[in-house]
Structure 1
Amino acid sequence: MHVDFKEEQLQFADALKRWIARDYSFEQRRAIIGSEAGTSSEAWSTLAELGMTALPVPEAQGGFDGTAVDLFVVMQELGRGLVVEPYFATVLGAQFLKLGGAHAALLERVATGELKLACALGERQSRHELRDIATRAEQSGSGWRLSGAKSAVVHGAEAGVLVVSARSGGGQRDEAGITLFAVPLDAPGVQVTGYRTLDGQRAAEVRFDGVELPPDAVIGQPGAGWDILDACADYGAGLLCAEALGAMEALFEATLEYLKTRQQFGVPIGKFQALQHRMADMYIHLEQARSMALLAAVQLDGGDIGERRRVVSAAKYRVGQAARFIGQQAVQLHGGMGVTDELAAAHYFKRLSMIELTLGDRDHHLARFVAQPGFQQAA
């Protein structure tokens, strides 16, 4: 699929590319990961200054009301740069608030970069089924009392507000009875344990011990949060496809450069036909993943829910497939050094592996794609 990006989109991408090249090199990134915070306040301030935090926010709240395609070019560059700042978590949280139709004050703070968000959606038993929710929300006076636990919350400890899914009715795996909340991280009863993940990002385990919330903490309507949750999960998956594409592009280019410079038997190993075939296969996977990621981004801005689900799951599956192949081939072609911490290739492969597991892996999205209405008839 081909998309002609607008001049403004290309400007956003170019600004990010120049900043990453100047101030977010691989060694600078390693230093950030190794720091106690695991993220950089200076980098976050720069993202805000470049307008990245305002991009997904509606104009009424001081943002640019960016589309999924606008975010595509941003996530692609962040993927190329292996940026570990909590941008994806914040953008996804902002999408929940936008679809909820309220919380304008929070969105205004997101636009300026003052507020970071995180989405506490997964639980230990739920795997990739976000409707499998054991965290309970019970009415308490005019407000709500929240109890339960969330696992692997991306940048949970770095956020100021968490978007939390809880069950206020129905069975544990029902779509009905899900309520979404905006929960301040410093609310009494919220316990957060942060840690570093395999790919250098940050995540957290979060517990809610009788957290008292006001009525206006609800995102959308009580008991009717599934449609927003489903739409935002697809939105996030689409953005992850764009990030993975950027990482795969950088990994492919690094591998190609290595084959041109590494010599064996007096010639660059890129001269060997067998390795040229491998690079050709990697390129095919990369271009197919690019087409599917772009298609998903375009569809996220459409209005057909069924088509959105179908295309996003197809893209997440195909991008995950390409990421695994390109990552494995890159490591092999680099030899033993391909898995060392000193080489960027290893970091790209780790990030691609984590993207594959976030918001549904290949098996999950393949099953979801097959389950969409009309698949059996088309087959």
Structure 2
Amino acid sequence: MEIGAAFAGEFTPEQLALRDSVRAFLASPGYSWARLAGELGLTALAIAEEHGGFGATAVEAGLALEEAGAALLSAPLLSTTAAALALDPAEPAAAELLPAIAEGKSIATLALGHGVEARPAAHGTVLDGRAEHVLDGDAADVFIVEAGGDLYATDAAVVQAVPTMDVTRGQATLILTAAPARPVARAGAAHAMAVMHALLAAESIGLARASLQSTVDHLRTRHQFGVPLASFQALRHRVADLYVVHEQATSTARYALRVFGTAEFALAAPLAKLAATEAAWTITREAIQLLGGIGFTWEHPAHRYLKRATANHLLFGDPPALRRLLLARAFA
């Protein structure tokens, strides 16, 4: 059983080729940010051609992030992709920033919902405030910060890297004191949050798939009492339940990406984030138990998948917050 194979028919041959290329690339040793951006062009994937990108859709970006999640990619692909999709190319500062992101020369990230204030200054706008748990903030060179519902780009933040449970990806606290900034999306904060929700969902179903596939492979090859563990009915039932959870989350996450750019996206994205991160958290926790003693060792990657799933579960809105948001939007 290959986890996720049931959904292959919904993609074009070109999309499947992209998925396979990213999967093979991330499975090879020695990949780097320069190769990821230059050789594969993943940073340019969802950026329009007139801004130096390939003009692909959010669906292709999601496929790449699924594979990044499966490989526990530590490079800032998710945060940079989210920042690029949140920018409004009609804003001059955004149009200037997009080509650098497409080439991989600039690493961007989103800082949303932190109460940062924007105020006029002699030479434009400055930002004041503090933003915590900024994904890949320790690696980024430009920060897309929410202030008053608008998005501003700045490179003048004081960055404090913070330790987290998930050592495969960094977070940081940004301190902004009269930081010069330029607008990159008017009233764009809600859309930016929806983008992050949808992309976190895509990454989460990828890491859940890899965790579950590793567990299934272990149960097939590990023998107990002279037979494979996969022959025991109780274990088969547990895996079957996890498979259903993953398939449901996959359907929800991919639907959100398909309605990107429509009015439905504002509701589909947080729903996808809720379903996918809940599924990933459930699957990675169960995987450690199903793997037995090896699942509790530092050498096995099971704990790293659990830590990434836990971080994704809590970032940009935990389940109660997402349920409140969905309820408000569903009846708005």
Superposition TM-score, scaled by structure 2 size: 0.91
Structure 2 match to 1:111: 102
Which of the residues 68, 81, 90 maps onto 1:78? Answer: 68
Which runs of structure 2 are paired with 1:1-379 in the superposition (5 Å)?
A: 4-23=10-29, 43-48=32-37, 49-98=39-88, 101-102=91-92, 103-123=94-114, 133=115, 135-167=116-148, 178-184=149-155, 187=156, 190-199=157-166, 200-213=168-181, 217-221=182-186, 225=187, 228-301=188-261, 303-304=262-263, 307-374=264-331
Equivalent pairs, count: 323
SS of residue in 2 equivalent to 1:107: helix
Alpha-carbon RMSD:
1.9
Task: Report how far residue 361 of structure 1 moved.
Answer: 2.0
**Structure 2 unaligned regions, length at least 5:** 1-5
Q: Matched residues in 2 for 1:145 and 1:50: separation? A: 36
Is residue 284–residue 305 contact of structure 2 (8 Å, CA) maintained in 1? yes
Is residue 164–residue 182 contact of structure 1 (8 Å, CA) maintained in 2? yes
Q: Matched residues in 1 for 2:329 and 2:298: separation? A: 41
Task: Report how far residue 351 of structure 1 moved.
Answer: 1.0
SS of residue in 2 equivalent to 1:23: coil
Is residue 88–residue 185 contact of structure 2 (8 Å, CA) maintained in 1? no
Structure 1 match to 2:3: none
Task: Report how far residue 96 of structure 1 moved.
Answer: 2.4
Q: Matched residues in 1 for 2:329 and 2:185: separation? A: 25
Q: Matched residues in 2 for 1:142 and 1:348: separation? A: 46
Q: Matched residues in 1 for 2:303 and 2:75: separation? A: 19
Is residue 56–residue 65 contact of structure 1 (8 Å, CA) maintained in 2? yes
Q: Matched residues in 1 for 2:255 and 2:117: separation? A: 37
1:251-295 Cα offsets, whole Å, 9 max, x none, are: 111101111222222222221111111011111111111111111
Range 271-280 or range 5-14, more displaced: 5-14
Task: Report how far residue 81 of structure 1 moved.
Answer: 0.8
Identity of aligned residues (%): 33
Q: What is the letter of the counterpart of residue 362 of structure 1?
A: P
Task: Report how far residue 45 of structure 1 moved.
Answer: 0.9
Q: Matched residues in 1 for 2:170 and 2:91: separation? A: 29
Is residue 77–residue 246 contact of structure 1 (8 Å, CA) maintained in 2? yes
Distance 1:290 1:153, change over 3 A: same
Q: Which runs of 4+ in 1 moved over 4 A?
A: none
Task: Report how far residue 60 of structure 1 moved.
Answer: 0.6
Q: What is the letter of the counterpart of residue 208 of structure 1?
A: L
Q: Matched residues in 2 for 1:81 and 1:357: separation? A: 20
Is residue 202–residue 276 contact of structure 2 (8 Å, CA) maintained in 1? no
Is residue 267–residue 330 contact of structure 2 (8 Å, CA) maintained in 1? no
Q: Matched residues in 1 for 2:287 and 2:87: separation? A: 39
Is residue 122–residue 153 contact of structure 1 (8 Å, CA) maintained in 2? no
SS of residue in 1 equivalent to 2:139: coil
Task: Report how far residue 157 of structure 1 moved.
Answer: 2.1
SS of residue in 1 equivalent to 2:165: coil
Q: Matched residues in 2 for 1:325 and 1:120: separation? A: 27
Range 84-93 or range 327-336, more displaced: 327-336
Superposition TM-score, scaled by structure 1 size: 0.80
Task: Report how far residue 83 of structure 1 moved.
Answer: 0.5
Is residue 309–residue 369 contact of structure 1 (8 Å, CA) maintained in 2? no
Q: Matched residues in 2 for 1:262 and 1:274: separation? A: 15
Q: Matched residues in 1 for 2:35 and 2:18: separation? A: 13
Is residue 111–residue 131 contact of structure 2 (8 Å, CA) maintained in 1? yes
Range 332-341 or range 236-245, more displaced: 332-341
Task: Report how far residue 99 of structure 1 moved.
Answer: 5.5
